[in-house]
Amino acid sequence: MPSKKTGRLYIRKKLPFEVYEINLMNADDTELQIISRETGVGLSLDEMKAVQQYFKRRGRNPTDVELQTIGQTWSEHCFHKTFKGTIIFGDKEIESLFKTYIFKVTKELNPKWCFSVFEDNAGIIHFHGDYCVAVKVETHNHPSAIEPFGGAATGVGGVIRDILGVWADPIACTDVLCFGPLDFPYEKLPTGVKHPRYVYRGVTAGIGCYGNNMGIPTLNGAIRFDESYTGNVVVYCGCIGIVPLNKFQRQAEKGNVIVLAGGKTGRDGIHGVTFASAELTEESEEVSRPAVQIANPIQEEKLKRAILQIRDRKLASAITDLGGGGISCAVSETAYRFGLGASVELEKVPLKYGGLAPWEIYVSESQERMLLAVPRNHLKKVLEVFEDEDVEATPIGVYTDDGLIRVYYQSENVAEVEVSFLFNPPKAIRRAVWVPPRFEEPEFPEPKDLTSTLLNLLASPNIASKENVIRTYDHEVKGNTVLKPLHGELAGPNDAAVIKPLDDSWKGIAISCGINPNYGKIDAYWMAASNIEEAIRNNVAVGGTRIALLDNFTWGNPEKPDRLGSLVRACQACYDFAKAFETPFISGKDSLYNESPFGPVTPTLLITAVGIVEDVRNIVSMDIKAPNGLIYIVGETFQELGGSEYYVLNGFIGNSVPKVRAPQARRIIRGIQTAIEQGLIKACHDVSEGGLGVALAEMAFSGGYGVEIDLARVPVRDIIRNDFILFSESNGRFLVEVSEKSREEFESIMRGTPYGLIGIVTQSQHFCIRGLKGETVIDVSIRELMQSWKFGLEGGGSVK
């Protein structure tokens, strides 16, 4: 750790093992910064000063174990300084983005069905009877950029442990991935950046490996491509679990034994949180390789079995996962939560190999470990359960009531810090500015041949089928998948997946997402608004109701005011629109510092929506069902092509980003929900990327029938071009198939909303669209449409 020059800052303690005293008491500002850098704790000068003050009051220097513990707890990754800190935005001073925008929605809506939000490892909402649903979505971007397979796999492993960390049985995984373009020229790659194709293969393999091995179906997701992700891949991993409330234990008490269970501890995953809270550089590979952990899904599968038995027998009083910050964070967070202290004996921690310094044992993020608080009289039984499942479990300490974290190594006290100090870091103050970017609204004539435009759009990377990837994820295991990500024989793209988790109930959970970074290039506010509405629409399209949201931000360095400015804009939209749609946030996470030699990633907000399906027998899939079905579009089409796939295909971004008109969208959503409930809708599809044209094509080729559509019947505002009607990405729209006999009932439900009966399902295999003047603008076989869509991305859905 110490270099020659700065050696005097670190004093090796006279002990038979490696513990350093850090000479903080006499350090000046420069030296404080040197210490922060050399020890890898990644604290700012203000924070280092706060640490210095604390130890000055105690009249001694900290040990390396203590400094590392503080560094881990105070990292952006663990403490979310930016979201909890003060932001000066123009003449406004925002005290905590989280409280001002995100949590505020939930607090104001205050639904009775929210059991625990933003409190535990995962958001917990009521489901059915005594059962609750727990949901969490995490990011694992930086590790995946360095080591795609391991980074993604441990991302899945980590979020599954979050679900286990609230005693829930994980029943489904989700994943949303953003890569650089697969055809990115090799010669343009800067040193230290891996080719998107390599990252893509590794990440998708890692995700599949973990979920498949654990037997958890991967049900929902998305894959996006954008140049800005070339140096910094974005990997969102989500997990949904189910937990009976009468088994939910959380009351750790003084005297409870701290039991560490699962994998052994090694040097893999040292300083993962610090690494996550810095930009990626050319040296990241070399410097930060140890920050990436190694995945062992079978270990976690066994751990899961044991934990669920311990839960059902109520043998433990609290549980938490070991993620960022390892044992140090898990122990101190539990102590903090229950108003306790803790005493830990580090030499008891089972190690992969010898030679780890105490601080390394304490902060290592080795995978597949959980921490339980166990009343002494249950300890033997708990250890037996673990043994039966072939899982190593070790008592490593005990919770105390003095509010102090004490760490021992071979009976030597190597750390002693107050819990209250650990959880009160100095508040970060950051500046934010927002200057709207200027993209010209393009001018180009309407192409004569819209058939080839549609075929090209279907084959474009963001729209084309991801079947090649989806098939490598087991989406059937557990046998509870009612609506699959790939629908039916022809593998069409369902808007959401539906799972039926309880054997004795027809109630289901609908899982969907909304993500569109293209809009974020223009305005993060409207991106966030669109993503919220899209996630909700996707959920509603299959029959989802009572929807809850999760927010996951992937942004650039928040210490740079422009990055932070767009983050503030996105948070503002989160409040405005989640409130308007009455969909509370129940969990979320932010990943900042996503910058590489290419610059920052495009601001990327993932909204995950979790809805309840009252009866899975009523769900609706997106494929058209039968000839003579009536096709409606509900909602208005505006000239909103900014950030659209159509503009991107033509090499533009544009400025006319789609807006969200919440009052009207709400009326439409309510109408669709009622119509589905009454069984009037035969097929329903959300209109988003690629607009009406793409959504219609997907419905047709997935159903195996042709359609005849008249664009003149589409409710529009100020559009006089066929291509714009077909490819505008206005929010608030659904495509719906209704049978002739349900026509009146459907129309009476939708009365008061803009809708148009735009066409009919035909027996033929022709996809025919007539333009505003009655001319044929698209005429193509559905087979050809399907081929474009299926094989658009790297050769597509068949043989790899």
Partner 1 sequence: MKREEIRVLLMRVGGTNCDKETQRAFLELGAQADVFHINQIMRDKEKFLEYDALVFPGGFSYGDYVRAGAIWAKWIIAKLGREIKRFIAEEKPIIGICNGFQVLVEMGVLPAFNGISEHPEAALATNFPPGYNCRWVYIRHENHGNCVFTRRIAKNMVLRIPVAHSEGRFTFPKERENVCLERLIENDQLVFRYCHSDGKPAENVYPANPNGSFYDIAGICNREGTVLGLMPHPERAFYWWQQPDWTKRKFLPQYGDGKLILEGMLRYLEQKF
Task: Name the residue nearer to partner 1 (CB basis): 37 or 380.
Answer: 380
- Report, in Å, the least distance between residue 81 CB and partner 1: 39
d(CA 392, CA 329): 21
- Report, in Å, the least distance between residue 616 CB and partner 1: 6
List the x/- string, 499-518, binding to partner 1 by CB under 8 A. -x--x---------------
Q: HSE (CB half, 13 Å, CA atoms) of 59?
A: 0
d(CA 753, CA 768): 26
Q: Examine residue 174 and tell whether it contacts partner 1 (CB under 8 A).
A: no
Instruction: Please give the positions annotated as active site.
Output: 77, 140
Question: Side chain identity at 167, as an amino acid letter?
Answer: W
Task: Name the residue nearer to partner 1 (CB basis): 301 or 416.
Answer: 301
Q: Examine residue 685 and tell whether it contacts partner 1 (CB under 8 A).
A: no
- Report, in Å, the least distance between residue 704 CB and partner 1: 9
Q: Examine residue 466 and tell whether it contacts partner 1 (CB under 8 A).
A: no
Task: Name the residue nearer to partner 1 (CB basis): 590 or 623.
Answer: 623
E-only strand ranges, 473-598: 481-483, 486-487, 492-493, 497-499, 508-514, 545-554, 585-591, 595-596
Q: Examine residue 454 and tell whether it contacts partner 1 (CB under 8 A).
A: no
d(CA 349, CA 101): 41
Which region, judged by CB under 8 A, interacts with partner 1, from 209-217, 230-238, 434-442, 596-604? 209-217
- Report, in Å, the least distance between residue 4 CB and partner 1: 45
Task: Name the residue nearer to partner 1 (CB basis): 293 or 728.
Answer: 293
Considering only the C-alpha atoms of the chain, give the largest distance between any 2 of them, rounded to a whole number of Å: 90
SS3 percent helix, strand, coil of the chain, rounded to 5, is: 40, 25, 35
Which region, judged by CB under 8 A, interacts with partner 1, from 98-106, 290-298, 552-560, 724-732? 290-298
Site for partner 1 in 98-127 (CB under 8 A): none
Give the one residue of 620, 657, 735, 761 binding partner 1; rule: CB under 8 A.
620
DSSP states of 196-249: HHHHHHHHHHHHHHHHHHHT--EEEEEEEE-GGGSSS-EEEEEEEEEEEGGG--
Q: Examine residue 213 and tell whether it contacts partner 1 (CB under 8 A).
A: yes
Give 752: exposed, middle or buried? Use CB within 10 Å, 0-12, 13-18, 19+. exposed
- Report, in Å, the least distance between residue 496 CB and partner 1: 13
Which region, judged by CB under 8 A, interacts with partner 1, from 9-17, 531-539, 724-732, 792-800? 792-800
Task: Name the residue nearer to partner 1 (CB basis): 89 or 473.
Answer: 473
Q: Examine residue 773 and tell whether it contacts partner 1 (CB under 8 A).
A: no
d(CA 168, CA 133): 8
Task: Name the residue nearer to partner 1 (CB basis): 543 or 690.
Answer: 543
Query: How many residues belong to the site for partner 1 (CB under 8 A)?
Result: 46
Three-state secondary structure string covering 680-742: CEEEEEECCCCHHHHHHHHHHHHHCCEEEEEHHHCCEECCCCHHHHHHCCCCCCEEEEECHHH
d(CA 79, CA 422): 10
Give the one residue of 77, 161, 484, 659 binding partner 1; rule: CB under 8 A.
484
The three-point CA angle 17-23-28 to 5° equals: 155
Give the one residue of 78, 619, 660, 793 binding partner 1; rule: CB under 8 A.
619
Q: What are phi and psi of 364, to 5 degrees?
A: -55, 140
Question: Side chain identity at 271, as an amino acid letter?
Answer: H
DSSP states of 630-687: EEEEES-EES--TT-HHHHHTT---S-PPP--HHHHHHHHHHHHHHHHTT-EEEEEE-
Site for partner 1 in 382-411 (CB under 8 A): 388-390
Token representation of residue 475: 């989406």
* Residue whose token pair is 């089928």: 465
Nearest CA to 113 out of 403, 547, 474, 747 is that of 547
Q: Examine residue 483 and tell whether it contacts partner 1 (CB under 8 A).
A: yes
H or E stretch at 342: strand 341-345
Which region, judged by CB under 8 A, interacts with partner 1, from 21-29, 282-290, 455-463, 615-623? 615-623
C-alpha dihedral (45, 50, 54, 56), degrees to nearest 10: 50
Q: Examine residue 487 and tell whether it contacts partner 1 (CB under 8 A).
A: yes
Q: Examine residue 297 and tell whether it contacts partner 1 (CB under 8 A).
A: yes
d(CA 155, CA 210): 9
Q: Examine residue 615 and tell whether it contacts partner 1 (CB under 8 A).
A: no
Which region, judged by CB under 8 A, interacts with partner 1, from 74-82, 92-100, 346-354, 472-480? 472-480
Q: Examine residue 215 and tell whether it contacts partner 1 (CB under 8 A).
A: yes
Q: Examine residue 798 and tell whether it contacts partner 1 (CB under 8 A).
A: yes
- Report, in Å, the least distance between residue 483 CB and partner 1: 7
List the x/- string, 699-728, binding to partner 1 by CB under 8 A. ----x-------------------------
- Report, in Å, the least distance between residue 763 CB and partner 1: 16
Nearest CA to 50 out of 74, 82, 80, 34 is that of 74
Residues of this chain that interact with partner 1 (CB under 8 A) are 208, 212-215, 296-299, 301-302, 305, 388-390, 470-484, 487-489, 500, 503, 616-617, 619-621, 623, 625, 703, 798-800
